[in-house]
Amino acid sequence: MDAYVAYHFSARVKAELEGRGVDSVVVPPYYWGINHETGAFPGSFSVRPSTMKAVLVDLLASLGSWGFRRIFLLNFHGDLQHWAALLEAVREARDTHGAGVRAVLAGSDARDLGLKGDEEHILVWAPLSDEQRLAVRDPEELVDLHAGAKETSFMALNYPELVDLNLAANLAATEVRRQDVETWRRGGAAARGLAPLGYCGDPAGYDAEGFKDLESALIELLSDAIEREVGT
């Protein structure tokens, strides 16, 4: 699913940038990543961090050898180990091969990964304000982490033929709260204990039409960040 999201947003951002006079190309999605958090569920292929890093570095080096000087990686897979390997690959590709690559991420992702947000190998598209950074989050708040309302809304809007909407409408919401996120991130039996059916959130709460405005806003923010970077 994350590969569909990445490709879809890449294509939409490309179209938006072309309307602003910025030419770009979209490379094929990268499918084989790290699924530490969901690895206990069948269908969640996972590779070793060293494997993911090596393949990504080689792909980025190839793009650099073809003359691409501005490369932006859009990642919508939230697994922290996956993010860590991706960022290591970006740094190595920059240092070893001179590839002008940046990982594009939100301020909240930068915070979770221990980044300041101004590192040379990343491009933050949605800065985290001081107020958000210091806000106390309600530990009892229910969270939507995996195959819940947001991701089902995206699929229902853009790839309805690939999602069983009748099934989604009849699934009960999980009772996973913000205080449980660290348990989910441990993966394995811990994650499966929280969400035994493989989804974490409220699939029945999907809203394809309501997702349109959020998608458009994300595309604009991503395009703004890349356009600013290309113009520097």
CA angle in degrees (0–180, nearest 5) for 55-188-140: 115
Measured distance CA(9)–CA(105) in Å, rounded? 13
Residue 225, domain CATH: 3.40.50.10310
Specify the number of domains making up the chain: 1
Measured distance CA(101)–CA(68) in Å, rounded? 9
pLDDT of residue 67: 93
Which residue has 């992702």 as its token pair?
Answer: 109
pLDDT of residue 63: 95
Would you call 200 helix, strand, or coil by DSSP?
A: strand
Q: What is the mean pLDDT of each run of 10 residues along the chain (232 residues)?
A: 94 97 95 92 92 96 93 94 96 92 93 92 83 61 93 96 96 94 94 94 96 94 95 76
pLDDT of residue 108: 87
pLDDT of residue 110: 92
Those residues whose C-beta lies under 8 Å from the C-beta of residue 199, and which sit 6 or more positions away, are: 146, 147, 148, 171, 174
pLDDT tens digits along 152-162: 999 999 999 99
pLDDT tens digits along 114-125: 999 999 999 999
pLDDT of residue 232: 67
Alpha helices in the chain (DSSP H): 2-19, 49-65, 80-97, 107-112, 130-134, 149-158, 165-168, 181-185, 188-194, 208-230
Q: In what order do the strands lie in the sheet with 122-126?
A: 71-74, 101-106, 122-126
pLDDT of residue 127: 79
Domain that holds residue 34: 2-230
pLDDT of residue 140: 81
pLDDT of residue 139: 79
